[in-house]
């Protein structure tokens, strides 16, 4: 099944959204959190990106997940693994 998460973040401490080698990005932090809770093992898609230091309120990502793990992708679960300046505030199946 496919899950969409709506994210918000304060971009001051990040080198933008998009993954970059050897730099801390929003993508790398979200990917780390989702991997830690076991809901993704590969890529996710996203709609748009931001540059270094830019914040966002409605960044959407989506990814495929096993149906039995869908509850783990709820914002409350994901937020427990994210840094305080990145959070998920909505989801859709």
DSSP state of 10: -
Our separate counts of H helices and E strands in the chain read: 2, 4
C-alpha to C-alpha distance for 61 and 63, rounded to whole angstroms: 7
Query: Domains in the chain and their CATH numbers?
Result: 2-92 (3.30.70.580)
Q: 3 near 92, Cβ under 8 Å?
A: yes
Place of tokens 């969409």: 4
Question: Residue holding tokens 């496919």?
Answer: 2
Return the active site residues. Answer: 51
Q: What is the pLDDT of residues 11-37, one digit of tens each?
A: 999 999 999 999 999 999 999 999 999
Q: Check residue 48 and report its DSSP letter.
A: -
The model's pTM: 0.93
């Amino acid at each position: 099944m496919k899950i969409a998460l709506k994210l918000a973040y304060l971009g001051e401490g990040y080198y933008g959204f998009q993954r970059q080698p050897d730099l801390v990005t929003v993508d790398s932090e979200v990917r780390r959190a989702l991997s830690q809770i076991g809901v993704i093992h590969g890529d996710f898609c996203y709609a748009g990106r931001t540059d270094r230091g830019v914040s966002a309120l409605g960044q959407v990502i989506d990814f495929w997940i096993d149906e039995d793990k869908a509850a783990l992708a709820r914002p409350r679960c994901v937020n427990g693994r994210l840094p305080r300046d990145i959070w998920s505030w909505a989801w859709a199946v």
